[in-house]
């Protein structure tokens, strides 16, 4: 495989699900007995992207946007309804086993460890499943045990571990066979702040020192800001943004937000064209500033002139706000399209 060719290539990836619609009420349940109405849900809609060796990609979207469905197609668990995907030159759903040797997978909501076995025994089973040569296994095992501070956990059965501990073990389990690519589906979900930070530090190291290509899904923007050089936003099954996290920030950085506190009141509307209401709370309003409609100087002068302002601060936009703005606009024109301006 050519060094410069993409490691993962998805073209027009689409997956629909047929779901039964059940009617409500007593009469409805009788009707359900005789006829079932079906509805098609397009979970992933014509999604295309290339991912290169060594990238750390954040795959972002709200609940139900289609993140897990995409990951399942990339890992060979699901067959796409249409489109094609190649992961390290293998079509995952056609050759699930061959693909499995190349990838590691962590699903935040469930563990791949054996519930009633000590962690160490699960690792031993994985070693046989992936036929990891002894020397490689020993090296990976020591390295991971040290980096993820697994020593005290190794003899415990998985069911006795806390969520954070279990995630660390699951991460190690996904890396024992030295995969080229690591898929993480909401790996930080449910973790407390300290556990999240540890997990992020670990992922950064895996990406940088081992050169593992990582695709991480999340709806936590802090994960993305901390880790991902590239962000892909999926909204209702379609790609709404695909580009570097830097570019996303840069292109939206001028859309600062003003946090304004008023004296003893909160006006219905702030009638300044460059400002758009984001949120209000007590005597405060958060307003998005649009530089095209006036300079910051004009806007602030008008504010102090026309309103009784007690306090004011200016915020740089967070990735979270930018992504929200993209959602509000709805899905982007086309998959793999240029960034959307909020």
Partner 1 sequence: MRDAAGEAAQVPGVAWPLVGALPPGARVYAKFAIRSFQKQLAYKFEYFVGVFNGLLFIFIFTSLWRAIYANLESPPAAFDLEGITAFAVFAMIVRISMTQDDMSTVGKIRSGAIALDMVKPMSYFGMMLSECLGQTMFHWFTRVIPVLAVSLLAFDAALPRAWENWALLAIAWPLGYLIMFMVNYLFALLAFWFIETFSFHLMKYGLFTIFAGGIVPVDFFPEWLKPLIESLPFMYILYTPTALFTGHIAGADALRLILLQGAWAVALGMACTVMWRAAQRKLVVQGG
Contact residues: partner 1, CB under 8 A: 17, 68, 72, 75-79, 93, 96-98, 100-101, 103, 105, 107-112, 114, 116-117, 120-121, 123-131, 137-138, 141-142, 145-146, 151-152, 154-155, 185-186
Provide the phi-psi class of 293: left if phi over 0, else alpha when psi is between -120 and 50, else beta. Answer: alpha
Residue number with CB closer to Mg ion (65 or 258): 65
Quick count: other Cβ atoms within 10 Å of Cβ 309? 14
Residue number with CB closer to Mg ion (59 or 123): 59
Sign of CA dihedral 20, 23, 29, 31: negative
Exposed, middle or buried by CB within 10 Å (0-12, 13-18, 19+), for 4?
A: exposed
Instruction: Say if CB 46 and CB 14 are below 8 A apart.
Output: yes
* Nearest distance, CB of residue 258 and ligand ADP, angstroms: 32
d(CA 218, CA 22): 31
* Nearest distance, CB of residue 73 and partner 1, angstroms: 11
* Nearest distance, CB of residue 190 and partner 1, angstroms: 12
Number of residues that bind ligand ADP (CB under 6 A): 12
Q: What burial letters (b/e) apply to 101-139, b meaning 16+ CB within 10 Å?
A: ebbbbbbbeebebeeebbbebbbeebbeebebeeeebee
d(CA 184, CA 188): 9
Number of residues that bind Mg ion (CB under 5 A): 1
d(CA 244, CA 228): 8
Which residue is associated with the tokens 């009420």? Answer: 25
66 near ligand ADP, rule: CB under 6 A: yes
Residue number with CB closer to partner 1 (103 or 342): 103
Per-residue binder mask for Mg ion (CB under 5 A), 12-51, x = binder:
----------------------------------------
Torsion angle defined by CA atoms of residues 105, 107, 113 and 115, in that order, rounded to the nearest 10 degrees: -170
65 near ligand ADP, rule: CB under 6 A: yes
152 binds, among ligand ADP, partner 1, Mg ion, none (CB under 5 to 8 A by kind): partner 1
Instruction: Say if CB 319 and CB 245 are below 8 A apart.
Output: yes
User: Which residue of 68, 122, 213, 285 would you call a contact of ligand ADP, by CB under 6 A?
Assistant: 68
188 near Mg ion, rule: CB under 5 A: no
d(CA 21, CA 36): 7
The pair of three-digit structure tokens given for residue 42, joined into one six-digit string:
């397009």
Residue number with CB closer to partner 1 (95 or 246): 95
68 near Mg ion, rule: CB under 5 A: yes
* Nearest distance, CB of residue 69 and partner 1, angstroms: 9
Give the binding range for ligand ADP (CB under 6 A) out of 58-66, 290-298, 301-309, 331-339. 58-66
65 binds, among ligand ADP, partner 1, Mg ion, none (CB under 5 to 8 A by kind): ligand ADP
User: Which residue of 19, 125, 271, 308 would you call a contact of ligand ADP, by CB under 6 A?
Assistant: 19
Residue number with CB closer to ligand ADP (172 or 335): 335
d(CA 163, CA 173): 15
CA angle 92, 333, 257 (to 5 degrees): 110
What residues line the site for ligand ADP (CB under 6 A)?
A: 17, 19, 41, 43, 61, 63-69
Residues of the shown chain interacting with Mg ion in the complex, contacts defined by CB under 5 A:
68
């Amino acid at each position: 495989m050519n060094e410069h060719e993409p490691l993962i290539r998805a073209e027009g990836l689409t997956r629909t699900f047929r779901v039964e619609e059940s009617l409500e009420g007593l009469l409805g349940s009788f009707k359900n007995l005789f006829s079932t109405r079906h509805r098609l849900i397009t979970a992933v809609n014509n999604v295309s992207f290339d991912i290169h060796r060594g990238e750390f990609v954040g795959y972002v979207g709200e609940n139900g946007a289609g993140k897990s469905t995409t990951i399942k197609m990339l890992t060979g668990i699901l067959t796409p309804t249409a489109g094609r995907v190649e992961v390290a030159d293998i079509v995952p759903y056609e050759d699930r086993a061959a693909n499995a040797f190349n990838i590691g997978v962590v699903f935040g909501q469930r563990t791949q460890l054996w519930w009633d076995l000590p962690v160490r025994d699960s690792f031993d089973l994985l070693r046989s499943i992936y036929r990891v040569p002894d020397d490689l296994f020993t090296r990976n095992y020591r390295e991971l045990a040290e980096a993820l501070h697994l020593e005290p956990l190794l003899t415990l059965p998985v069911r006795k571990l806390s969520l954070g501990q279990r995630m660390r073990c699951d991460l190690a389990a996904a890396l024992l066979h030295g995969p080229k690519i690591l898929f993480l589906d909401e790996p930080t979900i449910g973790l407390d702040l300290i556990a999240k930070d540890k997990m992020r530090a670990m992922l950064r190291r895996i990406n940088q020192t081992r050169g593992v290509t990582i695709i991480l899904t999340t709806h936590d923007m802090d994960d993305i800001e901390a880790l991902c050089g590239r962000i892909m936003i999926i909204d209702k099954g379609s790609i709404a943004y695909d580009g570097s996290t830097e570019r996303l920030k840069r292109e939206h950085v001028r859309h600062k937000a003003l946090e304004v506190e008023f004296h003893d009141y909160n006006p219905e509307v702030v009638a300044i064209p460059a400002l758009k209401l984001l949120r209000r709370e007590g005597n405060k309003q958060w307003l998005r500033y649009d530089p095209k409609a006036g300079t910051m100087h004009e806007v602030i002068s008008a504010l102090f002139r026309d309103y009784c302002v007690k306090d004011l601060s200016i915020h740089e936009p967070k990735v979270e706000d930018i992504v929200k703005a993209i959602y509000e606009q709805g899905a982007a024109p086309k998959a793999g399209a240029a960034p959307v301006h909020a």
